[in-house]
Amino acid sequence: MATEPDAFRDRLKRKLGLARGSAEPAASTSDAAPASDVAPASDVVPASNAVPAPDDASVAPIAPTAPALAAKPRAEAALLLERMFERRAKRAAGAAAPRERASIAPLPRGPARPLPSALALRVNAHGEHAELERRFTEPRMQEALQHLREHGSEALRLHAQRAEILPFALARAAFLDTETTALHGGAGCTVFLIGVGLLEDGALRVHQVFLRSPSDEAASLARVLELLEGVDVLVSFHGKSFDRHRLHARLAMLGFDSPLLSFPHLDLGHIARRFYRGELRDQRLQTLEREVLGLHREDDLPGSQCPAAWFAHVGGRPSRIGDVFEHNALDVASLALLAARFAASPTESSSGREWLSYARGLRIAERRDDARAALEQAIAKLNADSADYLRAQEEARRLRPARARSSSRAKPPA
Amino acid sequence: MGVEAILERLRRDGGVAGNLVAEHVVPPADAQLSPFPAALDPRVVAAFRARGIEQLYSHQAEAIEAALCGRDFVVTTPTASGKTLCYNAPVLHEAVVSQRASKALYLFPTKALSQDQVAELARLIESGGFGLHAATYDGDTPPSIRRTLREHGDILVTNPYMLHVGILPNHPKWIDFFRNLRTIVLDEVHTLAGVFGSHVANVLRRLLRICAHYGARPRIFASSASIANAAEHLRRLIGREVQVIDRDGSPRGAKHFWIYNPPLLEPVSGLRANALDEARRLATLVAGEGHQSIFFTRSRAMTEVLTKYLKDHATEQGRDPEKIRGYRGGYLPDLRREIEKGLRDGGISTVISTNALELGIDIGRLDVCVMVGYPGSVASTWQQAGRAGRRGSSSLAVLIARGLPMDQYLALHPGYVFGGRGEHLAIDPDNLVVLASHVRCAAFELAFAKPAVFGNAPSEQVAGILDYLAHEARVLHDDGQRYHWMAETYPAEEVSLDAADIDNVVVVDAERKTVLGELDRPSSITQVHKGAIYGHQGRQFLVEEFDHAGRRAYVREVLTDYYTEAETETEVRVLHLDESREHLPSHRSHRGEVHVVTTATVFKKIRFYTRENVGAGDIDLPPEEMETDAWMIVLEPEAARRLRLSEGHRSKGWRGLGKLLHQVVPLFVRCDLGDLGWSAELRSSHFEAPAITLWDDHPDGVHLAAKAYELEGEVLRAALSIVRGCACEGGCPGCVGPRADVGPDAKSVCEDVLACLVEGVWPPSPTPFAIA
């Protein structure tokens, strides 16, 4: 009977081309559930000593008793299993570019870097979660935050071109960036690191809530909701179409009431596209960082490699998980710097596009006179054969006094 | 022309009447009427009354009562007996009574069916003034309205593919819908057979698992063509016991069902006239204007050839060829809609179709149905025959037998079809590969808590698969209590429910730069190889280039007098045996796994009408490869010696037996001939003895050969009765194959072998040639 466990296992192995007994399944990976034996004495416990941080990346912490040779057949088995499951799909995919597969996560290039030592364990009603706090106090950041605060970030809110953003000064904004296991929005896409940046006196405080394993999810998400209490606007980079939906889905699956979709949300990605479309190579955050803010990251772990690092970490393998924290924190910091940049009112040297964006914002804010003045600046600066010039003309039509518009429309046919 | 007049004309036609070998009249029946059940909300009753329905047929009332008592049901009454009302009424009742707090999900096997269904629901909702939202949600739904439908749709109509790849993996977007899901409707569940059905059964396990996560336990209403094991099929499909409703209460006119056996051309060889030519001949008698006819063929290519023939004929007769249309899968949706509409409003008088029109697509009722060849199952035969039959007037269905054993068996044993019990549907939801694929998808959708439960799948299998995915493939993380998805991939995208699902080849008209149609990859190597003629609405297109890797075939319209047929070569290797039985001293039977490689080798150019071979060419395409399950019959060497299989012409007879068995097995296990592959070797390299191998022509097996292995005794007895009952002298296409193919002794060899296998009767020992 194929349903008996042994026969079943044999059949599975045979399908995978494994000779019986040649590859005993690894004894359950002894990845030593982190911190499970460290009783939280208080609400906050430093976790650095509880999290395994292999010094030598070459020592695989899996199955220490398994003979070294066993590793090879297992890797082959995994590949064969993939092949078995995906045989049809591969034929189907045909000439289409093979989808990137990271289920057998390769170790991202670069040395393994363990969890940050300052990572703390916290407890709430939903259980334990890990969180890292980091303050950005560099002069440049201080300057930027001061700018945001002092100028009430008015230009930024106008550039957002959304009426619901206008009432909120950004003093109580949360800068949000998440790391997820995939780019698709399916139920299997986990948000494993959530960076929330809040303005403090003279600093940006970034809270990084981290899932040590999927079972931390409820406690972690509850913590994120807690961090968002008192926040009145979210600031992100293309988070309106990505991050907030991923978080919303996770919250919904776990039965939380999710405020994510109803939050006023200022998406810097949209503004960046308006300002730099066709001008920069692309409008990704790191490109803007380099080209607009003049910043340069060293040894950054590309975002595309973050999921693999987390998979390896959860599986107890050496990984660059520490670099994921760094990557995410810098992303959040960049959001604040970029927001400050966009919060500067346009000047003589600003581009026609910037003026056009500003003019639209003013029109949406019902400041039509100001809008007309800004639009004049825009039209003067824009190239007459550009698409933006046409957009400016359209904007001018909308800004025409209501009477003029209605009379022109009501003109009877000759 | 009325059907009675057509019948009269056929009976009088000297060339035709003699070929009508069996007639079955389904007598007219009066309606069995029932009032609306008292428990049905009066507003719903009023909506049906407003649509002109004053009373119900008895089976409809039975279904509604079952539903109102909270039972699941399957209704298996014939085509056009008002099955949709059986589930629409309780679904509307639930939605109205709960004040729109009850949602329903309809699952239809094809997109075309869902369009029809939504139109009907919309009319009901409007006449009841319910303010409910019914809509299709499938791949064609514009992204801009998807969110609205998810949030405000009351009744959503979709298909298994969309559910599998679009809806279930994104269930967090559907929380409100799933939380309030009260009813799942499965239409045409007889189409959920074989590997496709096994996949859908697992998609349903995933659906019910997600519903349970959100606290819902929807009822399931199903409809089906008549099948022998409806209750068992549903049990396998959804893991529940359902009430079977099979007493038809709808009225019908008399249906004349004839089996037409083309005349013998050569009594010695048993060669019969070609079925397609006979269809053409019948068409001149049964097709015409003033009534509507449908012709079903067994392949896309034959649909195109017959369409051309009938259009040519109409042109010769001075009639409008545009009233004659072909219809098949692979046409683009707009063209299909146009033809369906033409059939409904009478603009089209004759349609030639593959089984694409067999399902409940709304084309109204026609007068005459001609099936060119046995459709492969009794259920399909009655579905197709059911396309003809207007209320209160007679209808005609003709099944033209081809020169194939299955068809000839039916010509000899018409009771097999007329008895109408339908066959047993075979699905195997616990098939290792199918199950594992969907456990993987399910793990993506929700973490599996230990001990893992996945519908009624054997728990140790599920546990084994999860263990494997976690510790070997590492796409799951096992934290001791749960298995969590731990990969960047989207597994549903990598699991295709059937070959035709996503793996499509697009046929491009290179001249007009338009897409002409599409077809599935496995059939592409024989249909659109370079040099093939691709038929479309009776027109011919030459394939100029086939980009196999890019899945595109470039064609150009040509005027030719031929069509093409490709040949394939298949190689089979035994991988291992799972189960064996000894039937000594004659043979052993085995169930096991084989590796099959199929290569398209050459194609023939065949002239229309005369079917002369007017040329040939080579095909240079990569082979199709797969591993699959097989049933093997291996003769004992001593038996082979006593049966004198190695002697002269007798050796070819072994091949005849393989051919015969291949065609008999589908009588016992619901599948198409194309679902099974076969080979007959006189000396198998694996067994070193004569062996016949039949395998599932689907990667990794679909429980067909395995079932044939279990039913071996019955299969062999049926094969013996065909050989003994066949009137031919030395083998014919109706039994072991034409002499040209299997040699002059094949029939006696097959009879000898089968008598030995079934009855243990040995042929008289050959007299030893002795020199005194």
Question: Domain ranges in chain A?
Answer: 120-342, 352-403
Q: Is residue B424 part of a domain?
A: no
Q: Which residue has the tokens 């009655």?
A: B382
Closest CA of chain B from A90, distance in Å: 8
Residue with tokens 């910037």: A354
Cβ burial B291-306 (10 Å sphere, 16+ → b, else e): bbbbbbbbbbbbbbbb
**Surface of B (391-410) touching A: CB under 8 A:** none
Of B460, B490, B578, the CB nearest to A3: B460
- Whether residues B196 and B142 share a domain: the answer is yes
CB atoms within 10 A of CB A93: 17
Res B422: pLDDT: 62
Mean pLDDT (whole number) for A26-45 = 34
Do residues B22 and B39 share a domain?
A: no
Report the distance separating Cα B376 and Cα B234, nearest Å: 21
Chain B residues within an 8 Å CB radius of A5: 460, 464
CA-nearest residue of chain B to A13?
B468
Scanning A301-386, the segments in alpha helix (DSSP H) are 306-314, 321-342, 352-364, 368-381
Q: Which of B463, B360, B256, B641 is nearest to A6 (CA)?
A: B463
Task: Give the highest mean pLDDT range of A208-217, B263-272, B761-770.
Answer: A208-217
Which residues does chain A have within 8 Å of residue B436's beta carbon, measured at their own beta carbons?
Answer: 84-85
**Residue with the larger pLDDT of the pair B566 and B332:** B566
Output the pLDDT for position A36: 33
Q: Is B680 helix (H, G, I), strand (E, B) or coil?
A: strand
> What pLDDT, on the 0 to 100 scale, is given for residue A26?
33
pLDDT band for B769, please (50, 70, 90 cuts): low
Print the domain residue range for B401. Answer: 3-26+252-418
Q: Are residues B143 and B209 in the same domain?
A: yes
For the four alpha carbons of B454, B458, B460 and B466, in that order, the dihedral sign comes to negative
Asked, for residue B120, whether it belongs to a domain, the answer is: yes
Asked if the model's pLDDT at residue A255 lies above 50, the reply is yes
Tell whether B770 is covered by a domain.
Answer: no
* Record: contact A9-B464, CB cut-off 8 A: yes
* B699: preceding bond cis by omega (within 30 degrees): no
Residue A187 is nearest to which of B445, B489, B549, comparing CB atoms? B445
Average pLDDT of the residues of chain B: 88
Residues B39-68 pLDDT 10s: 999 999 999 999 999 999 999 999 999 999
Residue B454 within a domain: yes
**Structure confidence at residue B127 (pLDDT):** 93
- What is the mean predicted confidence (pLDDT) over A260-264? 92
Contact A4/B699, CB-based, under 8 Å? no
Return the residue in A72, A83, A103 with the most chain B beta carbons within 10 A, the one to mutate for interface testing: A103
Distance from CA of A335 to the nearest CA of B (A): 26
Mean pLDDT for B348-358 is 90
Paired residues of B329 in beta bridges:
B331
Instruction: Nearest chain B residue to A23 by CA: give it.
Output: B472
Considering only CA atoms, which of B106, B56, B114, B110 is closest in space to residue B85? B56
The nearest alpha carbon in chain B to A74 belongs to: B472
Subunit contact B485:A249, Cβ cutoff 8 A = no
* Residue B387: closest CA among B422, B344, B448, B336: B344
Per-residue pLDDT tens over the stretch A228-244: 999 989 999 999 999 99
Distance from CA of B440 to the nearest CA of A (A): 9
Between CA B9 and CA B633 the distance in angstroms is 49
> CB of B173 within 8 Å of any CB in chain A?
yes
Chain B closest-CA separation from residue A176 CA (Å): 21
Lowest mean pLDDT among A259-268, B179-188, B569-578: B569-578
Question: Are B362 and B235 within one domain?
Answer: no
The reported pLDDT for the residue numbered A99 is 38
Cα separation, B91 vs B100, whole angstroms: 11
Specify the amino acid at residue B70: G
CA distance linking residue B730 with residue B270, whole number of Å: 8
Is a pLDDT exceeding 90 seen at residue B505? no
Shortest Cα–Cα distance, B593 to chain A (Å): 10
Using a CB-CB cut-off of 8 Å, the residues of chain B touching A4 are: 460
Give mean pLDDT, residues A74-81: 38
Residue B193: what pLDDT?
81
Per-residue confidence band for B225, with pLDDT thresholds at 50, 70 and 90: confident
A220 pLDDT exceeds 90? yes
Q: Do B477 and A81 touch (CB under 8 A)?
A: no
Same domain, B406 and B334: yes
CB contact under 8 A, B486 and A311: yes
d(CA B260, CA A184): 56
B241 touching A (Cβ < 8 Å):
no
The confidence band for B733, taking pLDDT boundaries of 50, 70 and 90, is: low
Residue B762 burial class via C-beta count within 10 angstroms: exposed 0-12, middle 13-18, buried 19 and up: middle
Q: Taking CA atoms, what residue in B is nearest to A28?
A: B471
A176 phi/psi in degrees, rounded to 5: -120, 130
Q: pLDDT digit string (tens) for A115-158?
A: 999 999 999 999 999 999 999 999 999 988 888 887 667 888 88
Token reading at B71: 């039972």
Output the pLDDT for position B738: 63
Q: For position A405, what pLDDT does the model report?
A: 52
Whole-number pLDDT of residue B238: 95
Cα→Cα distances A272→A344, B362, B673, Å? 14, 52, 60
Question: Is B377 among the domain residues?
Answer: yes
Q: Do A248 and B172 touch (CB under 8 A)?
A: yes
Gyration radius from chain B CA atoms: 27
Tell me chain A's radius of gyration from C-alpha atoms: 26
Of A66-70, A273-277, B272-276, the range with the lowest mean pLDDT is A66-70
B503 with A94: Cβ contact below 8 A: yes
| Per-residue CA distances from B400 to B160, B258, B268 (Å) | 34, 9, 22
Structural contact between residues B203 and B497, judged by C-beta atoms closer than 8 angstroms: yes
Helix (H, G, I), strand (E, B), or coil: what is residue B717? helix
Q: Binning pLDDT at 50, 70 and 90, where does residue B732 land?
A: low
Helix (H, G, I), strand (E, B) or coil at B645: coil
Name the percent of chain B in helix, strand, coil, to the closest 5.
40, 25, 35
Given a contact cutoff of 8 angstroms between Cβ atoms, the answer to whether B3 and B396 are in contact is: yes
Structural tokens at position A377: 């600046």
3-state SS assignment for residue B109: coil
Residue A252 vs residues A176, A240, A245, A247, B175: alpha-carbon distances, Å:
19, 17, 10, 8, 8
Instruction: Indicate if B690 and B748 belong to the same structural domain.
Output: yes
Interchain pair B471, A3: CB under 8 A: no
One domain, residues B274 and B127: no
Which of A336, A338, A341, A295 has the alpha carbon at shortest distance from A136?
Answer: A336
Of B665, B608, B624, B647, nearest in space to B749 by CA:
B647
| Highest mean pLDDT (candidates A16-20, B401-405, B465-469) | B465-469
Specify the pLDDT at position A403: 60
Domain boundary among B520, B541, B560: B560
- Cβ separation B444–A188 shorter than 8 A: yes
Last residue of a domain, one of B351, B384, B418: B418
Which pLDDT value is given to residue B421?
60
d(CA B662, CA B654): 13
Based on the number of CB atoms within 10 Å of its own CB, is B55 exposed (0-12), middle (13-18) or buried (19 or more)? middle
Q: At the topology level of CATH, where does A120-342 sit? A: Nucleotidyltransferase; domain 5 (3.30.420)
Q: Which residues of A touch B458 (CB under 8 A)?
A: 3
Maximum CA extent, chain A: 94
Domain membership of residue B768 (yes or no) is: no
Q: Does B467 touch chain A (CB under 8 A)?
A: yes
Residues B155 and B292 in one domain: no
Q: Which of B169, B474, B699 lies closest to A315 in CB terms?
A: B474
Per-residue confidence (pLDDT) for residue B344, from 0 to 100: 86
Q: Average the pLDDT over A39-45 and give the result.
A: 37
Residue B267 lies in a domain: yes
Domain count, chain B: 5
pLDDT of A25 above 60: no
Instruction: Verify that B455 and B519 share a domain, yes or no.
Output: no
Rounded Cα distance between A70 and A60, Å, is 13
Which residues have a Cβ under 8 Å from the Cβ of B174 and sit 6 or more positions away?
A: B150, B167
Query: How many other C-beta atoms are found inside a 10 Å radius of the C-beta of residue B616?
Result: 13
Under 8 Å CB pairs connecting chains A and B tally to: 166
Domain boundary among the residues B531, B560, B589 is at B560
B441 & B515 share domain: no
Residue B165 covered by a domain: yes
* Chain A nearest C-alpha distance from B464 (Å): 7
Q: Are residues B546 and B580 in the same domain?
A: no
DSSP secondary-structure letter at B165? Answer: I
B256 and B404 belong to one structural domain: yes
Give the CATH number for residue B117. 3.40.50.300
Interchain CB distance below 8 Å, B502 and A92: yes
Give the number of other Cβ atoms within 10 Å of residue A91's Cβ. 18
pLDDT value, residue B403: 82
Q: What's the rounded mean pLDDT across residues B642-666? A: 86
Q: Which of B432, B482, B486 comes nearest A12 by C-beta?
A: B432
